[in-house]
Every structure is written in structure tokens, then in C-alpha cells.
Structure 1
Amino acid sequence: MNQNFGKRVRSLRLSRHWSQQELSMRCGISTPHISSIERDKRHPSLEYAQRIATALGVPLSSLCDERTEFQAPKMRNSPDELPLYLQNFILNESAFPYLEAAQRMSTLPEEEASFLTKLIELLAHRDHLLAGYQPDSRVL
């Protein structure tokens, strides 16, 4: 991996005015891992490098080859718009499996993602209803 990969990630992230947490949420990689990559303490796997490039909206080659110039497209939906408890969740290392699942889901075709979203909402609603359900002990 190019020694400047982390610096290019950091530069592009900062040019977007994104925090490491925002990049973390967008690519499904934990915030501490993003920090290590930016400081060149860790080198990302090919999969992680591709996730970062996709989240930043640039081709992977533009992060690996310092001769490549790029203009990233505008992005939307900042995690700063999320409730504080979700922002804190993103900061937590244990959030990694959920961030990874969200990243994978974001790459699905819209119809499949919509179906999964509805399914998750139904399951969450069912669990909420069941949590409030108290069987009548007189019946037993």
C-alpha cells in the first residue's frame, strides 16, 4: 500500500469537512481503524481500501497513486444529523459489525434495500410489542 494512502484519505476527508466518525459511518469501518489508517499505523486490506474510496466518492486509484488528481462528488446525510446516542455508537469499536452490515446494505439495489429496511422495521416493532407483553399469570 502506498505510504501516502492515509494522508490522501485524511486530506480528502478534511476537504469535505467530515469527521473520522462520519467517514467511519459511510464506509462501515470503525473510527479507531480509520484513525490508524490515516496515521499510517495500519494499512487497509483491499476490501477496506475500496470501501474508503467508495465512501469518499473517488476511484481507489486516486487514493493509491499520488499523481492522480480527483474531484469528489458532493455527498449528503451527515452523521452530525443523527441523534447523539447514535453518534456515540459510531465511535464505539463494538459498533463495527453493525457498521459493516449497514455498508453492505447500502450497496444493494434499491428494491432489495427497501425490502430489508421494511423487514427490519417489522422485526423491531414486533420485538417492541413483545417486550411490553406480560402473560396473565392467572391463566396458567
Structure 2
Amino acid sequence: MYESFGNRMRKIRIARQWSQQELSIRAGISTPHISSIERDKRHPSLEYAQRIANALGVSLHSLCDSNAEFRMPRMHNSPEELPLHMQNFILNESAFPYLEAAQCMSTLSEEDTRFLKKLIEILAQRERALSTVNQTL
């Protein structure tokens, strides 16, 4: 019998005794989006499917194929261990673009990461210089 991606994802999440919010935090995907996927109202992109699989600690293949066997490794570092202000930020829907950017940055090569850090540093210096000029006017 065919089992949808969303249903398989829900079963694994529930087996881990996680709320949708906890999976949302771990995957860097908004809670409403997780809910929509579980209810088969939306289908995840390949990137989101991989993020969900990584967060659940299973292979993408085992998440997509209901006949595939998998063993769930023990997971540590629950979001509840984060400071309250970080939990609130992550659960806030407006945090989604930042979480998405952080997820994208975590997949960059070391060379790309150095380049991006340098670019951010240059832009921050420029912004500080412009801010100083505007304050003196």
C-alpha cells in the first residue's frame, strides 16, 4: 500500500515524540508548512525533503519509500534546551527567512563561506561609515 511522504513524515515525527514545532525548529521550516506537508496539502521541494529527513535523522530514501527499513538514531539537543528568547524567535513565523538563509549557508563550501563572510564584513563596514556620515550631517 502506498504511503504518502507526509504520512511517513508524521509517523516518524510521532515515533520521536516530537511536536510539529520541534520538527519545524530542527528542519528550519515553518510549522504551518510542516503541517501542510503532513496533511498532503503541499509537497516539499527536494531541498525541504532533505532538510526534513536530516532533522528526523533518517535517509531521504527511507522517508520517501514506505517499504524502506530504517532505524532512528537517538537525537539530542532538544529545542527546549535553547534559551527562551531563541525558542520564541525560531517559532515566530517572521524568523523563516533567517532560518532558511542559515540552512543555505550551512551547506556552502569552506571557500564560499569565507567569501560570504568577507562580503558581509565589507557591507557592514560600509553601513557603519554611511551611518557615521549621516549622523554628522
**Number of the residue aligned with 1:22:** 22
Q: Is 2:25–2:91's contact at 8 Å kept on the other side of the alignment? A: no
Q: Give the partner amino acid of 2:11.
A: S
Structure 1 position 81, deviation (Å)? 1.0
CA contact 1:3–1:40 (8 Å) conserved in 2 = no
CA RMSD after TM alignment:
2.9
Unaligned runs of 5+ in 1: 128-134, 136-140
CA displacement 1:87-125 (0-9 Å, x = unmatched)? 222222211111112323444579x69xx6xx99xx8xx
Pairwise CA distance, 1:44 = 0.6
Distance across 2 between alignment mates of 1:109 and 1:70: 29
- Aligned mates of 1:53, 1:73 — CA distance in 2: 12
Q: 1 or 2 for the larger relative contact order (CA 8 Å, sep ≥6)?
A: 1
Aligned length: 122
Alignment of 1:67-106 (within 5 A): 67-106=67-106
Please say which of residues 45-54 and 98-107 is displaced more in the overlay. 98-107
Identity %: 70
Q: Could you list the runs of 5+ residues in structure 2 that have no partner in the other structure? A: 129-134
* Structure with higher helix content: 2
Q: Measure, in 2, the Cα distance between the counterparts of 1:3 and 1:41.
A: 15
In structure 2, the residue corresponding to 1:68 is in which secondary structure?
A: coil
What residue number does 1:131 align with?
none
Q: Which amino acid aligns with 1:89?
A: F
SS at match of 2:76: coil
For structure 1, which segment, 42-51 or 21-30, has the greater mean C-alpha deviation from structure 2 after superposition?
A: 21-30
Deviations 1:23-50, CA, capped at 9 Å, x for gaps:
1122211111011111111111111111
One-letter identity of the residue aligned with 1:100: E
